[in-house]
Structure 1
């Protein structure tokens, strides 16, 4: 049994230039509303790897893929990417459909 309303999830792996991690975190937080203000965005999270230095993961959930793709090609997303690009030395993007979601006790 899957969720009644599927969620489209995007996972970015970002390699950040050494010594720029704190500034990257601050900038990501400052410009994050460009993503979360989009009506189809369900939230986003920034996580830092404990195993690989300078590696961050950004996960964002979307109501559906077409509206994510609309945002991905928008001027707002281009501006957001432009502000984060100077920190990056590489990265990847993976997209997926959430099959099950189970909440914790928190």
Structure 2
């Protein structure tokens, strides 16, 4: 899932703090496989959240949960605009093992 969030001017620090606190809860959910908060360079207040879920039904159930609804009630006053897109995994390539890491593994 990709979520673009445009934050009202001056609300960036509050948004980042709110997201990080909520992300700690999301991280404990078994159907969440990771998330990232990214900030757009050159576009003040524009963020992208990438989050990976087991499947769409588990993501939708999370969206309806009381914890998520409470988070959204706090987020909405900070949000100027945004959009959500569900993405379908097509392929994945894991990072290459660095020479330093490989050297340590060979010991």
TM class, shorter-chain normalised? 0.7 to 0.9
Which structure is larger by alpha-carbon Rg, 1 or 2? 2
What's the TM-score once normalised by structure 2's chain length?
0.83
Aligned twin of 1:47: 38
What's the TM-score once normalised by structure 1's chain length?
0.84
User: Secondary structure of the residue that 2:37 maps to in structure 1?
Assistant: strand
Equivalenced residues, count: 97
Please list, as runs of the form range in 1=range in 2, the aligned pairs for 1:1-106 lying within 5 A after superposition. 10-105=1-96
Q: 1:38 touches 1:71 (CA, 8 Å); kept in 2? A: no
Taking only aligned residues, the RMSD between alpha carbons, in angstroms, comes to 1.3
CA distance in 2, matches of 1:82, 1:38: 20
CA distance in 2, matches of 1:41, 1:35: 7
**TM-aligned CA deviation for residue 21 of structure 1:** 0.7
Greater share of helix: 2
CA distance in 2, matches of 1:73, 1:11: 17
Q: Could you list the runs of 5+ residues in structure 1 that have no partner in the other structure?
A: 1-9
Q: Could you list the runs of 5+ residues in structure 2 that have no partner in the other structure?
A: 98-107
CA distance in 2, matches of 1:37, 1:83: 20
Greater share of strand: 1
**TM-aligned CA deviation for residue 72 of structure 1:** 1.1
